[in-house]
């Protein structure tokens, strides 16, 4: 079994799921007392929130590259980044490493394409929904990507940062997300990507009439394939 290096802490809520699900997946495969071999470099989410508010992506990239290199030096066989938005700096991370970097959006796109779906809704932070770094990875796989309108994007983003990243789940916020899911369904999407690792705290398949693709689960499953 290989060792996975996780760049985590962005936010801690999502990192917990990665750690838990990776260990569960290995135990399901090997049984007994087996669990995943994991190296975790957990960063301070507050530093990144501040840098994002300043538009300073270069400093964020430097912090992520340093974390990735520390994991490589410690013996990781491949690296995953336990957050969607920070994949904006995926190219810088990949360029610095000798070992593989498993990209979350690529894994998600491959899973969607395997089910012959084309028109996809995307929920996530405003950075993920509005910038090109994430959508372009999906579009290169032949997917058409739709996002909520400006007001909807503000709602989705605010709930992520003000509530979900702190482990807070409110019924009113669940209703707000259900409304955004319904909006995307009315635009004719065939499925919706939960493109933030915390969104699954709030909604699940019962909240939609189309399939929901949980990027955290997909990323973990792809990582489990790499481990063996």
Please identify which of the residues 15, 83, 85, 125 carries the catalytic annotation. Answer: 83
Whole-number Å distance between alpha carbons of 107 and 218: 7
Please identify which of the residues 85, 108, 196, 215 carries the catalytic annotation. Answer: 196
Contact assessment for residue 26 and residue 34, using Cβ atoms and an 8 Å cutoff: yes
Nearest to 184 by CA among 210, 222, 206: 210
Whole-number Å distance between alpha carbons of 51 and 30: 42
Task: For residue 58, give both structure tokens.
Answer: 């270069």
Verify cis geometry, omega within 30 degrees of 0, for the bond prior to 11. yes
Contact assessment for residue 177 and residue 183, using Cβ atoms and an 8 Å cutoff: no
Dihedrals phi, psi of 123, to nearest 5 degrees: -115, 140
DSSP string computed for 7-45:
EE-SSHHHHHHHHHHHHHHHHHHH-TT---EEEEEE--H
DSSP string computed for 128-142:
HHHSHHHHHHHHTTT
Known catalytic membership, residue 113: no
Dihedrals phi, psi of 221, to nearest 5 degrees: -60, -40
Known catalytic membership, residue 85: no
Residue 201 CB neighbour total at 10 angstroms: 20
List active site positions: 83, 196
């Amino acid at each position: 079994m290989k060792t996975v290096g996780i760049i985590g802490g962005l936010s801690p809520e999502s990192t917990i799921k990665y750690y838990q699900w990776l260990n569960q997946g290995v135990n399901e495969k090997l049984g007994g007392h087996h669990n995943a071999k994991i190296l975790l470099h957990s960063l301070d989410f507050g530093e990144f929130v501040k840098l994002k508010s300043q538009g300073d992506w270069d400093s964020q990239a430097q912090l992520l590259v340093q974390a990735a290199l520390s994991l490589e030096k410690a013996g990781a066989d491949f690296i995953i980044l336990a957050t969607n938005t920070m994949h904006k700096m995926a190219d810088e991370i990949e360029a610095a490493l000798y070992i593989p970097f498993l990209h979350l959006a690529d894994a998600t796109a491959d899973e969607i394409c395997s089910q012959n779906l084309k028109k996809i809704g995307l929920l996530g932070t405003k950075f993920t929904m509005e910038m090109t770094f994430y959508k372009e990875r999906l579009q290169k796989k032949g997917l058409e990507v739709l996002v909520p309108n400006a007001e909807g994007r503000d709602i989705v983003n605010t709930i992520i940062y003000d509530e979900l990243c702190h482990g807070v789940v409110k019924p009113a916020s669940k209703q707000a997300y259900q409304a955004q899911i319904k909006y995307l369904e009315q635009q004719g999407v065939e499925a919706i990507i939960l493109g933030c690792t915390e969104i699954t705290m709030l909604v699940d398949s019962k909240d939609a009439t189309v399939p929901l693709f949980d990027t955290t689960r997909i990323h973990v499953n792809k990582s489990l394939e790499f481990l063996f």
